[in-house]
Each structure stands twice: as structure tokens, then as C-alpha cells.
Amino acid sequence: MKTKLVALMVCSLSFVALADTPAVKTVTVSGSAIMQAKPDAVRLSMQIQQTAEKVSDAKQKVDEQVVALTKALRKLGVKDDQLNNAPLRIQQDYQHDPERKLPQRYQVSRDIVVSLNDLSLYSTVLQQAADLGVTQMNQAEFLVSESDELYQKALQQAFAHAKTKASLLAQANGLKLGSAQKINEQGYAPAPVMKMARAMTDSAEVSFGQTDIRAEVSVEFEMNSH
């Protein structure tokens, strides 16, 4: 894990004159910090789909595939609370017969979401899904389980970054930096790493990339005479 500070040189000095009081001198600065971490969890989204003239036939095939996949995942150590099976979707299928001259067919599908806390299972789970006839694999979402804790660290570093800049500006004006008067948190967007899920051979090297967890603040400091 490495930390990278990004300087945002947007600063302003202000001198606020209040009635019958000395001017209050302040400086407003921004600070930011980025914590970089490797993902340690992944969320896989897949779909099983079958088409038949009878809804019951298509549903039975989908149910059988879901059961087989669930059993295979349990053998790999995936727990029930890591599996989320969405409700069945049923719709008419006109793709095979645009002119509607053949008997009506129905498409039945179910979405399955698998959450893995062990990335070593990633390729194996994908291969199992492919072997058991999963119709569609969506993009895999790679996550950092300790993103909240890392953000708190980034937030502290962003404030320290802002304070360092403010201190330099105060010294440049022959003043001493005082306490923070206003602190605004600019936002936080830890973007998950998205990759196309695909089965890989045992010899293939799997790279999960890194996630940037960024914190930004805007701080107004008071400046005092020495």
C-alpha cells in the first residue's frame, strides 16, 4: 500500500473586518490524499437462462442449473450468505420467430450474485459457472474490504496536507497559523475495479489491479500576528 499526496494549489487569503473589532485574518486551502490498496474481495454477477414452449419446462431447467451451481460453490467453501439468487424473470421470446408463426416460447432467467472474500477462488468459480452452463457473466467488481478504515487515514492526511500549505502561506505573510475555523469534506468516491469476468487456466496470471481511495478537504485557518 502506498500513499500519494496530490497538491491542489487553490488558496485564498481573506481579511474580515468586523465592527469595532480587529480584522480577522484567515487563509483557505484545500488538501487531498490518496490511499492505494489491492482488492481483496470480488462480487460476481451471472445469469442462467432457458427457453421453452412451456414456462414450467424452462423454469425446471433453470432451477436444476441453479441447484447444481449452488452445490458446486458450497464445495468450494462459499457460504450461503455469500450467494444471492434473484427472483425468476419470465418473458415471451419472439427472437426465434419474429413473424410469430411458430408456437409461443418463453424465456425464464435468474440472476445470481456471488461474493468472494478469497480471491484465490476467482478463476475456479468462473470455470465452474462456465461448466454448468451459466448463460451470461457480467463484469466482476473487485473491492477493498477495509475501504472505510483507509478512507479515515486518507482524510487525516488530507487535513495535514491542507495545514502544511496554510502554514507556508501564513509564514510568507509574516503571520503565525492559528486554529481551523471551518472544515469542509469535499467527498469520497472509492471506485471499485471493474473487469470482464472470464475463466482462466491455472497457468494464467491473474492481476486484480489497485483501487484509489481519495479524500479531499477545504479548510479555513485563522492567522495571527507573532
pLDDT value of position 200 = 43
pLDDT value of position 97 = 59
How far apart CA 144 and CA 43 sit, in angstroms, is 11
Judged on CB neighbours under 10 Å (0-12, 13-18, 19+), 7 is exposed
pLDDT value of position 13 = 52
pLDDT value of position 12 = 53
Q: What is the dihedral of CA 125, 131, 137, 141, to 10 degrees?
A: 10
HSE, CB side, 13 Å, CA atoms: give it for residue 166: 29
pLDDT value of position 198 = 55
pLDDT value of position 14 = 54
How far apart CA 25 and CA 30 sit, in angstroms, is 17
pLDDT mean by block of 10 residues, the chain; 226 residues: 45 50 84 93 95 94 96 94 92 70 84 94 93 91 91 96 97 95 82 56 62 94 90
Contact (CB, 8 A) for 96 and 163: no
pTM for the structure as a whole: 0.67
| Residues facing 215 on adjacent strands | 33
pLDDT digits (tens, 9 = 90+) for 86-101: 899 999 887 655 666 6
pLDDT value of position 186 = 86
* Residue 60: strand, helix, or coil: helix
Say which residue the cell 458446486 belongs to.
72
Tell me, what amino acid is at 182?
A: K
Residue 146 C-alpha cell reads as: 477495509
- Exposure string of 140-156, with b = 16+ CB inside 10 Å and e = fewer, is bbbbbeebeebbebbbe
Contact (CB, 8 A) for 102 and 96: yes
Contact (CB, 8 A) for 125 and 78: yes
Tell me, what amino acid is at 223?
A: M
Contact (CB, 8 A) for 184 and 141: no
> Which H or E element spans position 178?
strand 176-187
